Structure formats: structure tokens, C-alpha cells
């Protein structure tokens, strides 16, 4: 069964600290993996998209990694800011007729 | 560009009533997606269109749900009759292509069915 599992479910960190969010998937065959940031009351905004051949992709203080062999991805946030408080959603697209599979997200709270 | 526009932003209705959600995609985008988000189930893809044609509606939960895209700049998602379990945030998104292309989400419609 195609699934995307994210951990932790929620996370609280101090401003300025780093953190890493995890995404494990069983989607096969694999096409690409996306990380979205969703602020409260808003729609998701794309942070990164990675295909099979990409191991790392950065977007400012956000760095996503992908290990297609172990079917794992991580999103690393460096020097967190209060504005990083949001839900982070991992989405995996399979190739062919495999549907888009969403994780339930990690709720990150950055506190001063 | 104003981005993806959705209306209404909030909708409160009674069980059994018809609900129509509206979406205007980003101009020039060929793909339009309707999603539903709840705390329990997260984001779920309901249906998507390519060049105004429905491509995959396997995510539509029941026959009570229907979606149309009469032209490239407008789409509707209709629920008739609505039920309390339909309460959720409904997002519309659009993209240039389907594959690795970024999807741009609207602000969502928060629906509450009493």
C-alpha cells in the first residue's frame, strides 16, 4: 500500500536552533517528492521538489535530502525563526497511474 | 498575478443544503486540483483537471460531490446534499504541468456543515 509517514507529529524548538523533520514512504514506482510549508489558515506553499536522481536540494534555510534506496527524506531547518512555525507536509508522487500520496504533516512551533 | 483565488473563504451551512465552492486558477496554468484537508486525514486529492477536462476523480468521496471546469479560468466543487462529515478546508491548486511542476494553492474554503 502506498503510504507516507512523517515524524515527529509535532515539534517545539527554541528560536535559532536547528531541526530535522522525517518522511518515510512506500510509494512505488517513485517519481518525485515534495515538501510543503503550510501556515495556519493558509494553503500549502512548495519548498522543494526532488526527483529520483536528486539527493539534496536547498531553499534558503531549508535543506531537503532524499535517499531513494531507503525511501526516506528529511527536511532540515537551519537557524529557525518564529516564522518557521507551521505544518510541513511531505508529498510523494508515483509514476504512471500511482496517485499523489500525502503525509499528515509535522506541526513545528518555534518559540522565543 | 493574484494567485489562485477561492470563494467563499468561509461557509457555514446546514446538513442537507447544497454547497458550491469556487476557484479561479492562475492564468496560463493547465492543471487544476481540488483537495480536502481535515485534522484526521490530512490533505486528500479529490479530483484534477487538465485543460478543463477531468482526468482523475478517484478521490471524490461520494456521488454527492461533483466538480466542473467550464473554462480555463473557473472551476466549481459542489456538494449536494451536504453532511456534517464534509466539514473540512477545501483547497484549489493549479500548476503549469502535472509532473514535477510546483502546485500553487489557494487560501482555501473552510466549510462547516451543522
Give the H/E segment covering residue A3. none
Q: What pLDDT digit, counting tens, does each position of B1-43 carry?
A: 689 999 999 999 999 999 999 999 999 999 999 999 998 888 9
Q: Which residues of A touch B59 (CB under 8 A)?
A: 99
Question: What pLDDT, on the 0 to 100 scale, is given for residue A109?
Answer: 98
* SS3 letters across chain B: CCCCEEECCEEEECCCCCEEEEEECCCCCCEEEEEEEECCCEEEEEEEEECCEEEECCCCCCCCEEEEEEECCEEEEEECCCCHHHCEEEEEEEECCCCCCCCEECCCEEEEEC
Chains A and B form CB pairs within 8 A to the count of 43
Task: Tell me how far apart the alpha carbons of residues B114 and B105 are, in angstroms, rounded to a whole number.
Answer: 26
Shortest Cα–Cα distance, B90 to chain A (Å): 9
**What whole-number percentage of chain B has pLDDT above 90?**
83
Confidence at B61, pLDDT banded by 50, 70, 90: confident
Question: What pLDDT, on the 0 to 100 scale, is given for residue A97?
Answer: 64
Confidence at B62, pLDDT banded by 50, 70, 90: confident
Shortest Cα–Cα distance, B17 to chain A (Å): 25
Is a pLDDT exceeding 70 seen at residue A98? no
Tell me what the mean pLDDT of segment A20-38 comes to: 94
Q: Which residues of B53-72 are buried (b: 16+ CB within 10 A; e: fewer)?
A: ebebeebbeeeebebebeeb
Is a pLDDT exceeding 80 seen at residue B100? no
Cell numbers linked to B18:
447544497
Q: Grid cell 486558477 — which residue? A: B25
User: Do residues A80 and A16 lie in contact, with contact meaning Cβ atoms separated by under 8 Å?
Assistant: yes
Task: Tell me how far apart the alpha carbons of residues A57 and A42 are, in angstroms, rounded to a whole number.
Answer: 24
Cell numbers linked to B72:
480555463
Shortest Cα–Cα distance, B39 to chain A (Å): 8
Question: What pLDDT, on the 0 to 100 scale, is given for residue A15?
Answer: 98
Question: What pLDDT, on the 0 to 100 scale, is given for residue B40?
Answer: 87
B28 alpha carbon, distance to own chain's centre: 18
Please name the member of A41, A49, A89 whose beta carbon is closest to the beta carbon of B100.
Answer: A49
Q: What pLDDT digit, counting tens, does each position of A55-94 carry?
A: 999 999 999 999 999 999 999 999 999 999 999 999 998 8
**What whole-number percentage of chain A has pLDDT above 90?**
82
Q: A106: Cβ–Cβ under 8 A, 6 or more apart, which residues? A: A6, A7, A8, A9, A10, A11, A21, A87, A88
Is a pLDDT exceeding 90 seen at residue A29? no
Question: What pLDDT, on the 0 to 100 scale, is given for residue B106?
Answer: 96
Pairing of strands B10-13, B65-71: unpaired
**Averaged confidence pLDDT in chain A:** 93
Task: Tell me how far apart the alpha carbons of residues A80 and A13 are, in angstroms, rounded to a whole number.
Answer: 8
- Our CA dihedral for A70, B41, B6, B111, rounded to 10 degrees, sits at -170
User: Could you give the residue ranges of the DSSP H alpha helices within chain A?
Assistant: none
User: Do residues A33 and A50 lie in contact, with contact meaning Cβ atoms separated by under 8 Å?
Assistant: yes
Amino acid at each position: 500500500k502506498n503510504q507516507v509517514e512523517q515524524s515527529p507529529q509535532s515539534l517545539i524548538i527554541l528560536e535559532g536552533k536547528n531541526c530535522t523533520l522525517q518522511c518515510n514512504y512506500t510509494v512505488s514506482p517513485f517519481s518525485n517528492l515534495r515538501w510543503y510549508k503550510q501556515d495556519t489558515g493558509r494553503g500549502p506553499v512548495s519548498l522543494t521538489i526532488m526527483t529520483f536522481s536528486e539527493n539534496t536540494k536547498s531553499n534558503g534555510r531549508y535543506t531537503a535530502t532524499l535517499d531513494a534506496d531507503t525511501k526516506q527524506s528529511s527536511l532540515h531547518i537551519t537557524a529557525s525563526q518564529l516564522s518557521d512555525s507551521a505544518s510541513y507536509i511531505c508529498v510523494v508522487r508515483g509514476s504512471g497511474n500511482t496517485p499523489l500520496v500525502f503525509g499528515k504533516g509535522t506541526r513545528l512551533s518555534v518559540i522565543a | 498575478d493574484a494567485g489562485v483565488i477561492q470563494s467563499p473563504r468561509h461557509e457555514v451551512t446546514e446538513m442537507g443544503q447544497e454547497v458550491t465552492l469556487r476557484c479561479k486558477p492562475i492564468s496560463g496554468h493547465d492543471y487544476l486540483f481540488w483537495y480536502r484537508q481535515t485534522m484526521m486525514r490530512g490533505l486528500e486529492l479529490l479530483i484534477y483537471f487538465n485543460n478543463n477536462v477531468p482526468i482523475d476523480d478517484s478521490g471524490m468521496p461520494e456521488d454527492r460531490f461533483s466538480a466542473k471546469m467550464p473554462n480555463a479560468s473557473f472551476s466549481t466543487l459542489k456538494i449536494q446534499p451536504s453532511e456534517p462529515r464534509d466539514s473540512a478546508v477545501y483547497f484549489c491548486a493549479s500548476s503549469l504541468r502535472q509532473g514535477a511542476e510546483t502546485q500553487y494553492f489557494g487560501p482555501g474554503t473552510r466549510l462547516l456543515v451543522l
